[in-house]
Amino acid sequence: MNTLVQTKDYLLKAWGADVAKCPAPDKIHDGAYYWWFASPEDRERFKAKLPYSSLVTSDEDPEDFSGNRCNTHKRTIAVMVFRLPSGEEKAFEYDFGYGYPAHSAEYMFEDGNYSCDCSRSSFLGLETMPCGETIQMVSFDIEDRD
């Protein structure tokens, strides 16, 4: 007998001052609440009932507008090695949470907010450096973790 199994792959993430007023989540990670739904419509019906005065939400689908797959049930971990101006290399991992698209994580460290020395020096536990590009990313990889 062939049984259709419907998975809950449509993710809703919420965080902010009012997150504790939300219904019980499926999971909590780093202060954010996570719920999974069987369809985008189910997710939208749920979102319509949330207290939005101080709440930020993010939707993630199992496939984005470009056809890129995203495992919404795994945390997206960026694993990198940086080379400091001194030549020393430091490993670093950044946890983007559940269902964060790999191409978006890569963008953040290649060209986005985390591509600058001021952010990278802070992540690496160094004295904050001025904006610039002297901390070079030697390697970058994405791991999906539970």
The 10s digit of each residue's pLDDT in 47-104 is: 888 877 677 888 887 776 666 678 889 999 999 999 999 999 999 999 999 988 888 9
Instruction: Classify residue 67: in a domain, yes or no.
Output: no
Instruction: Classify residue 66: in a domain, yes or no.
Output: no
Question: In 3D, which of 52, 60, 55, 47 has the Cα closest to residue 9?
Answer: 60
Instruction: Classify residue 68: in a domain, yes or no.
Output: no
CA distances (Å), 60 to each of 27, 68, 73, 112, in order? 15, 12, 10, 19
In this structure, are 56 and 79 located in the same domain?
no
Taking all residues of the chain, what is their mean pLDDT, rounded to a whole number?
A: 89
* Tally of domains within the chain: 2
Query: What residue numbers bound the domain in which 51 lies?
Result: 10-60
Instruction: Classify residue 48: in a domain, yes or no.
Output: yes
Instruction: Classify residue 82: in a domain, yes or no.
Output: yes
Question: In 3D, which of 90, 93, 91 has the Cα closest to residue 79?
Answer: 93
Whether residue 145 has pLDDT greater than 60: yes
What pTM was computed for the model? Answer: 0.81
Where are the extended beta strands (E) located within 100-135? none
Instruction: Classify residue 112: in a domain, yes or no.
Output: yes
How far is it, in rounded angstroms, from Cα 17 to Cα 37? Answer: 23
Give the tokens for residue 118. 């001021």
Instruction: Classify residue 98: in a domain, yes or no.
Output: yes
In this structure, are 34 and 79 located in the same domain?
no
Single-letter code of the amino acid located at 85:
P
Instruction: Classify residue 140: in a domain, yes or no.
Output: yes
